[in-house]
Amino acid sequence: MKKTFFSHDKNFYAALFPLLIIISLQNLISYSVNMADNIMLGAYSQNALSGAALVNQVFFLIQQAAVVIGDGLVVIASQYWGQKRIEPIRQITGMVLKIALGLGIFLIILCSLFPETILGFFTSDTTILAEAGSYLQIIKYTFLLYLATQVLLSALRSVETVRIAFVISCVSLVVNVSINYTLIYGRFGFPELGIQGSAIGTMISRCLEFFIVFIYVIKTDKKLKLFSDKAVFHIDKLLRSDYIKVAVPVFVSGMLWAISVPMQTAILGHLSSDAIAANSVASTFYQYMKVVVLAMSSASSVMMGKAVGKGNLDEVKAAARTLSVLNVGVGIILGAILYFTKDFLLAQYTLSPTAAQLAEQLIIIMAVVMVGMAYQMPVGSGIIRGAGDAKFSLYVNMISTWGIVLPLSLAAAFWWKWPIPAVVICLQSDQIFKGLPIFLRFRSYKWIHKLTRDK
């Protein structure tokens, strides 16, 4: 048993750890773009911070849309990569790219026609809404390029090409921080634009990200050679059917969860302005640690898809067990880091005494939550879904999030009138309601499904 519980395949570890490290660094740097906005706006004014936080809830949905359509691509493409078959990967990538472009155009139109309705869902504070509106009017034009960029990066990730994503994130961070510093505060003779300066910095960064990855795919990439022939523009009916079978439950599951997150913000936003600011600060630090968990999930999905594609069932199981144990260890480390650095992190913000005290309480809660999240997300969305079982996550998200967590949180906030920390505990209780069924499903090994078609 000791010889088979963990994977003893040296090639597995040789592929896993570089993949995990690079994706973690890429996620860390990429999220630092948001952190830079958050800290600079927090130092500028609390209303600017809260306004950007509201718009970031909208952008969060777009990020999740990019993640789920990209994950559907990775689940299938990584299995073909395990078989060293490139042509199907090109065709699936072309199809997903068209979906991303259509979605991006739709979102820009939606935010142009109904900005007040969208933002008004999160708060009724007119001062914060004014700040958020000026931010959204600029940031909405980045949605299209962001979606296209993420699809191309997902295609590259499915064939274990991840360094370019790290390079892009580094360039984006430097550009964004420089422009933010210049335009938010009005340095070097430029006007002081506040929240609009932050939006301009983000827009320029997103444009640069797309330009770099597009040039890389055309000129440098040697694995996919995505635009080397017309295959990327050809839609094979069988491949389209395969993608839809995977992508629909992945998309619905991801969006069910993603929509619930802004709803959680809306619950806190209707309690007090201090709750909005405190949650924005606490969530920022939590998300910073979470990027490593997301990397575990992404790396697990690629590794499991590749293993299933090769067809060695024993190695698939051993690899999955190895990854699940690593997840728990990562969660404990991240939770400890979040807890012991909270005082230093809070010192970077200008908050009211009430908001500062509340933010500290929420960070402590998030540190505990991190351990559960670090297990259930990489196992559910990485291992189980990456091995071909896309429907299980849909059922878990539907029942735990919408059937239990949100009703419980709404009752705690508006019916029982519980304190804000208690409401946040209810909002984060999905780690319990997801963790147990995910553990039981993992133990069954019924989630291993071959998705590729024979030649």
Residue 454: DSSP 8-state: P
Taking phi over 0 as left and psi of -120 to 50 as alpha, with beta for the rest, 303 belongs to alpha
Both tokens of 31, joined, read 């999220």
On the 0-12 / 13-18 / 19+ scale of CB atoms within 10 A, 43 is middle
Please tell me whether the overall predicted TM-score, pTM, comes out greater than 0.85 for this model: no
> CA 365 to CA 372: how far, in whole Å?
12
**Per-residue buried b or exposed e for 425-448, using 16+ beta carbons within 10 Å of the residue's own CB:** bbbbbbbebbbebbeebbeeeebb
Helices (H), 114-194: 115-120, 126-139, 143-158, 163-185
Q: What is the pLDDT of residues 220-233, one digit of tens each?
A: 988 888 877 666 67
357 Cα distance to chain centroid: 28
- Total residue count of the chain as it appears in this document: 455
HSE, CB side, 13 Å, CA atoms: give it for residue 14: 4
Both tokens of 97, joined, read 């790219």
Which residue's structure tokens are 């969208």?
Answer: 118
Q: Number of helices (H) and strands (E), helices first, in the chain?
A: 19, 0
418 Cα distance to chain centroid: 30
User: CA separation (Å) from 407 to 95, 153, 256, 361, 369?
Assistant: 37, 36, 14, 23, 19
CA torsion sign, 148 to 154 to 160 to 166? positive
pLDDT tens for the chain, residues 1 to 455: 344 577 777 888 888 888 888 888 887 877 777 667 777 877 777 778 778 877 877 887 788 888 888 888 988 888 898 888 888 888 889 889 998 999 999 999 998 898 888 888 777 777 888 888 888 888 888 899 999 999 999 999 988 888 898 888 888 889 988 998 898 888 888 888 888 888 898 889 889 999 999 999 988 988 888 877 666 677 778 888 888 888 888 888 877 777 777 777 778 777 777 777 788 788 877 877 888 898 899 888 888 888 888 877 888 888 899 999 998 999 999 999 999 988 888 887 777 888 888 889 999 999 999 998 999 999 998 899 888 888 898 888 888 888 888 899 899 988 888 888 898 888 888 888 888 899 999 999 999 888 887 76
CA torsion sign, 303 to 309 to 311 to 317? positive
> CA 108 to CA 200: how far, in whole Å?
16
On the 0-12 / 13-18 / 19+ scale of CB atoms within 10 A, 400 is buried
Q: What are phi and psi of 83, to 5 degrees?
A: -95, 0
